[in-house]
């Protein structure tokens, strides 16, 4: 199993009136972590097909408050199907406390329909598949 670790910084504009990171900003953090994970497996070629988000869920464990220290996001690949794959995320605050857990399902897409995951991407994803 490979775990991709990414650090992201909060911006003051990420905060809501209650002084913690707004729930919609978490999606931005997850997107950043997802892109960096794909870059680490050297797969950002999207000229031949696209990937679309089919599902995104987040379980908020504790509020994230403002800090100049980065958040840590750990990303794993939990399953690889024919046209889609699942990514799991764990977001930790600057104290190392679990702040949120999330999952996304990415679907390979071309000409308005789901297509098989390209061999190069499938191979890369399967090589880092989380084994439970």
Residue ranges and CATH numbers for the domains of the chain are: 4-127 (3.10.129.10)
Determine the 3-state secondary structure of 117 from DSSP: coil
The model's pTM is 0.90
- In the beta sheet, which residues pair with residue 50? 109
Q: How many angstroms separate the CA atoms of 61 and 53, rounded?
A: 23
Q: What is the 3-state secondary structure (H, E, C) of 40-68?
A: HCCCCCCCCCEEEEEEEEEEECCCCECCC
Q: Which residue has the tokens 């308005």?
A: 112
What is the chain's mean pLDDT, rounded?
91
What is the average pLDDT across 49-58?
Answer: 91
CA dihedral 118→44→37→41, nearest 10 degrees, is: 60
Per the structure block, which two tokens stand in for 105? 């399902």
Res 16 pLDDT > 90:
yes
Res 106 pLDDT > 90:
yes
Determine the 3-state secondary structure of 35 from DSSP: helix
What is the average pLDDT across 99-117?
Answer: 93
Q: Are 91 and 73 in contact (CB under 8 A)?
A: yes
């Amino acid at each position: 199993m490979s775990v991709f670790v990414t650090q992201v910084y909060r911006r003051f504009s990420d905060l809501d009136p209650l002084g913690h990171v707004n729930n919609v900003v978490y999606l931005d953090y997850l997107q950043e972590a997802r892109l960096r994970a794909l870059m680490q497996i050297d797969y950002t070629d999207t000229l031949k097909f696209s990937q679309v988000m089919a599902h995104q869920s987040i379980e908020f464990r504790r509020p994230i408050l403002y800090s100049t220290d980065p958040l840590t996001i750990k990303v794993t690949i939990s399953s690889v199907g024919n046209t889609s794959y699942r990514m799991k995320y764990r977001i930790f605050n600057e104290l190392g406390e679990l702040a949120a857990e999330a999952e996304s399902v990415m679907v390979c897409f071309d000409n308005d329909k789901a297509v098989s995951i390209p061999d190069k991407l499938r191979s890369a994803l399967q090589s880092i598949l989380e084994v439970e």
